[in-house]
């Protein structure tokens, strides 16, 4: 591969992984927020 191809690949693969982990984090937070009452306990209020 040429140098410009390697440069573009490195830039976009970093952006891809950053976006991927942000989306996974958002989905996990939605899941935990939905089940926070079951995970924390019944006697506590938010």
Tell whether 30 is covered by a domain.
yes
Tell whether 15 is covered by a domain.
yes
C-beta of residue 46 within 8 angstroms of C-beta of residue 36:
yes
Tell whether 45 is covered by a domain.
no
Tell whether 43 is covered by a domain.
no
Tell whether 42 is covered by a domain.
no
Residue of 25, 21, 18, 22 whose CA lies nearest to 33? 25
Q: Who's near 2: CB < 8 A, 6+ residues apart?
A: none
Q: How many domains does the chain have?
A: 1
What's the domain range around 32? 3-36
pLDDT digits (tens, 9 = 90+) for 15-44: 999 999 999 999 999 988 888 877 777 666
Tell whether 46 is covered by a domain.
no
pLDDT class of 1 with cuts at 50, 70, 90: confident
């Amino acid at each position: 591969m040429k140098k410009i191809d390697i440069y573009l690949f490195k830039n976009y693969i970093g952006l891809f992984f950053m976006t991927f982990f942000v989306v996974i984090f958002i989905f996990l937070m939605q899941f935990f927020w939905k089940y926070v009452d079951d995970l924390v306990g019944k006697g506590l209020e938010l």
